[in-house]
Structure 1
Amino acid sequence: MLVIRPIRASDFDALMLCAEESGHGFTSLPVDADLLQGRINNSLESFAKHVTSPGMEGYLMVAEDTETGEVAGTTGIEAAIGLDNPFYSYHLTKVVHSSRKLNVHNIVEVLTFGNNYTGATEICTLFLRPEFRGGLNGKLLSKCRFLMLAEFPERFADVVFAEMRGVSDDDGNSPFWQWLKDNFFSIDFTLADYLTGIGAKGFIADLMPKLPIYVSLLSEEARAVIGQVHPKTRPALRLLEKEGFSCRGYVDIFDAGPTVECLRHNIESVRHSFNATASVREHSSAQHYLISNTDFAGFRATAAKAALDPETNHVVIAPEVAEALQVKDGDRLRLIAMEE
């Protein structure tokens, strides 16, 4: 059984392993000891902090195998992005060039540089190690964040978004970045991605073109990947789309991967999650639920079978599930019904 819990100081080596296995383009998990230690420290402070409105808190969690104690993956939430370091994106829009006199009417696409997601909540750092992929593990790692958003709304913004990894090859080369590099930068995509991951973003403001870029001027290879996701990211994108997330034309400034967003109260798992009282005993129900406790500092979530009694609003969970969630009879739970 996997259980989601807040990261601990002792999880550093496991987080570094996730960073090494995640590959190129995973900006929020760079292979940098100081940065990863900083993220752990910030998460420890954030989980312990009393919060009434979203700020610079970052909540980093891991999935732990309850049988072996091994860390299977990681997932996170940034409460309000761009308050300490600027968050950049491109917005893909259309402009019209027309002349009635010449009977010419052209609609062209442009990429506009900006900081429009400042203050929004970002769901990020989702990585499940290959040997743990399968069953409900991927859904647990993603959807556990929505249980947290539903139970503790005061900690998060109204707009929730996720950056999806864009197209790059096995060596980390991005067709979109190649065009930017040839015209405005002189560094490789992997270095630019790494510098962004460690917070060294000054080069972006210094070198990135500030005026809108006409998409028609880009190379054919760069145009083809705008708004496209890396093959390994497609399952994560499909899951978010089922939750109600959609792209409103914002893409990453390096690999042009899409940014998807949804209003917090419109996220399917937030809308359909519910509270119930725990009854701890053996049962024979076959219905799967994603279940969390309601203790923020000691947050726990897992995927397990449970038996719900709608009339009494009690849910029967097995003793091993109660142990994983650190709850007892009479404690309050939050649940989402799940399908295999």
Structure 2
Amino acid sequence: MSAGIVRPIAMDDLDALLDLARGAGAGFTSLPPVREVLEKKIARSLVSFTSTASTPRHERYMFVLEDASGAVCGCCAIEAACGLDEPFYNYRVGLTVQASPSLNVYKRHPTLYLSNDLTGASMLCSLYLRRDARSGGNGALLSRSRFLFMAAFPQRFAEKVIAEMRGVSDENGRSPFWEGLGRHFFDIEYGDAEHVVGQGNKAVIAELMPRHPIYTVLLPPEAQAVLGKVHPETAPALRFLEQERFRYQGYIDIFDGGPAVEAPLRAIRSIRRSLQLPAVVGASRGGDTKPLLIANDKLGAFRCVLADARADREGVHLAPATAEALNIGNGDTVRLCPL
């Protein structure tokens, strides 16, 4: 069995979450290394797990990954519906065509339009795994655990699910997109803009950005080159989401130019392939086991593990240690998904 266990975050995890935020680096605006902000995020998550929501509302569900020693080595979150409290902005990358047959001119210009199109979508966010824990299936466990949670409680989430991917920045935290566009309207460093966004003030800055369409050819080549591109450390997360049927549909972040990818909730691969079966706890009697993502169906006491198990007509055969990690007993229903 994988040593990792995904569970809802607790207030006792604040110090560990702060350490993770400090290690995440530039561009991770949903996980700012500010103790007071993170404390509020945990408090909001605690309330969300106790809510009786039957529609996507203001809930934000945050999870942590524990290693074999019980130490927190990763985190992730789901916003049930973004943009309900304040406008949620992205740039939509459109196309402007200018043509003159008499001059034999035909030009196609990518153009940025300030947009609220993704308002109300559920959003995957705050995914970060400590560097020394990026092995043994921990990445797949942490990322996909959210899909088993959403599959168990679909009424709490929107029909569209998005993820804003971290855009390109260098080792000094410099963002070419910000330098080419945002800095002209805010004479502050990208890191300072990040801090403002991390404090929950993204809409304040967005509303001061130009409302008119922006022709990308007017941006510096360095800014044009990173439109819709991800930070190197984010590339594995993007590949994972693409495997889950997420696609880039032309929306980018207004600060670093990183892409937003999206998928219909019920089309997400791990949700569509998940099954509910009774747990059969004890030593398996023959048959091959294989790695399975397995979760209980308890809202506030949600648990998810990656374990070697066998599924058949009787149910899913689990080792006692796996059942203990999931906090379930023989006959309890679990949700599973093959890797």
Same fold (TM over 0.5): yes
Structure 2 residue matching 1:50: 3-state secondary structure: coil
Aligned equivalent of 2:55: 53
| RMSD, aligned α-carbons | 1.2
Q: 2:325 aligned with 1:287, yes or no?
A: no
CA contact (8 A) 2:87 2:203 kept: no
- Whole-Å separation in 2 of the counterparts to 1:108 and 1:132: 43
Structure 2 residue matching 1:248: 3-state secondary structure: strand
Aligned equivalent of 1:28: 30
Q: Deviations over 1:196-230 (max 9, x none)?
A: 11112354244311111001000000000001110
Structure 2 residue matching 1:150: 3-state secondary structure: helix
Match of 1:62, as an amino acid? V
Q: 2:307 aligned with 1:304, yes or no?
A: yes
Which TM-score applies when normalising by structure 2? 0.96
- Give the 3 Å change call, closer, same or farther, for CA 337–40 of structure 1 in structure 2: same
- Whole-Å separation in 2 of the counterparts to 1:152 and 1:89: 28
CA contact (8 A) 2:54 2:155 kept: yes
Q: How does 1:154-233 map to 2 (within 5 A)?
A: 154-201=155-202, 203-233=204-234
CA contact (8 A) 1:291 1:302 kept: yes
- Whole-Å separation in 2 of the counterparts to 1:202 and 1:114: 12
- Whole-Å separation in 1 of the counterparts to 2:47 and 2:183: 42
Match of 1:247, as an amino acid? Y
- Give the 3 Å change call, closer, same or farther, for CA 206–246 of structure 1 in structure 2: closer
Structure 1 residue matching 2:103: 3-state secondary structure: coil
Q: Deviations over 1:143-167 (max 9, x none)?
A: 0011111111000000001011111
Aligned equivalent of 1:260: 261
- Whole-Å separation in 2 of the counterparts to 1:41 and 1:233: 27
Aligned equivalent of 2:127: 126
Match of 1:294, as an amino acid? D
- Whole-Å separation in 2 of the counterparts to 1:181 and 1:159: 28
Match of 1:134, as an amino acid? S
Structure 2 residue matching 1:207: 3-state secondary structure: coil
CA contact (8 A) 2:182 2:209 kept: no
Aligned equivalent of 1:16: 18
Q: Deviations over 1:271-323 (max 9, x none)?
A: 111111001112364300000001111110000011111x33x0100111101
Structure 1 gaps, min length 5: none
**After the TM superposition, which parts of structure 1 deviate over 4 Å for at least 4 consecutive aligned residues?**
none
Q: 2:139 aligned with 1:135, yes or no?
A: no
Structure 2 gaps, min length 5: none
Residue 182 (structure 1) shift: 4.2
Structure 2 residue matching 1:77: 3-state secondary structure: strand
CA contact (8 A) 1:2 1:64 kept: yes
CA contact (8 A) 1:85 1:199 kept: no
- Whole-Å separation in 2 of the counterparts to 1:193 and 1:86: 18
Residue 135 (structure 1) shift: 1.8
- Give the 3 Å change call, closer, same or farther, for CA 297–168 of structure 1 in structure 2: same
Aligned equivalent of 2:235: 234
Identity of aligned residues (%): 46
